[in-house]
Amino acid sequence: RTFRKTINNSTSVGFVPTMGALHEGHLSLVREARANNDVVIASIFVNPAQFGKGEDLDRYPRQLEKDSELLKEVGVDHIFAPSSDLMYGKNHVTFVEPMGFGETNEGKSRPGFFRGVATVVTKLFNIVQPTNAYFGQKDAVQCVLIRRIVEDLDMDVNVKIMDTVRESDGLAMSSRNAYLTPEEREKAPVVYQSLCAAREVYDARFARGMDEVEADDLREVVESVLETEPMIKNVQYVSVDDLETMKPLDKVGNDGCVVSLACVLGSVRLIDNIVLR
């Protein structure tokens, strides 16, 4: 906070919050921030509040020195890399509880996750006080959540959501992709292929002059593609939700939707989504 006070109020500050283990998706957010702000700040913090029991907090990739070099190379002016003790002191008892997000399919799959995200993002925004904050569309519910926080709590921050960055074969870039074995990595593009199949159904229906598409039809085509890959051990959910609220839809009209999924390929949980409109 002391450092932030040295930045003039007329100076635009772009902020890219990360948990480290950076990939091109993160770096693309930094480049966008660099192109549109006077000062760019990035944070690296593996937030324990958003990990549940049995999740990968302890083994989540940590490479602060490498990440710091990558951020400097793409134009970050300042890096904020706090410890857990700094962010959550021994007497810390206050959390941000976003109502309803625990009822989304992602929230049901990861109890407490969105409370942890809402809390850390609120804290980071209070500390950094950015003009613009940049996030990737890959975490669809999280993007809606952050916009909701900013509006509900009257934060003076512009939330910028950027398109998901993908590998050449369509796999959404993610720090957790490092967990994939070579064989699993070879099969992983089926996740995005299943979402593309939903887009084909959506586009074809509207091309024939239909006014809406049944959400069940979109879910079924995603599931049918995923079922073709034996290495997918579990499809946790396929959701068809409103773009603004992430509430489930029965029918999809001209306003579009977001189709999202979570599945376990081998031993790795993968998430992805596609916006249809």
Nearest CA-CA partner of 82 in 113, 117, 128: 128
So what's the pLDDT on residue 5?
76
32/220 Cα distance (integer angstroms):
36
Cα–Cα distance measured from residue 181 to residue 81, given in angstroms and rounded to the nearest whole number: 30
Identify the band that residue 9 occupies on the pLDDT scale cut at 50, 70 and 90. Answer: confident
- Residues assigned a catalytic role: 26
Contact, 259 vs 218, CB < 8 A?
A: yes
Model pLDDT for residues 129-175, shown as the tens digit of each residue? 999 999 999 999 999 999 999 999 999 999 999 999 999 999 999 99
Residue 180 has a pLDDT of: 97
What are the pLDDT digits (tens) for 58-117? 999 999 999 999 999 999 999 999 999 999 999 999 999 999 999 999 999 999 999 999
CA dist 33 and 14 (Å) reads 5
Residue 241: which H helix or E strand, with range?
strand 232-241
N-terminal to C-terminal alpha carbon distance within the chain: 41
pLDDT at 119 over 90: yes
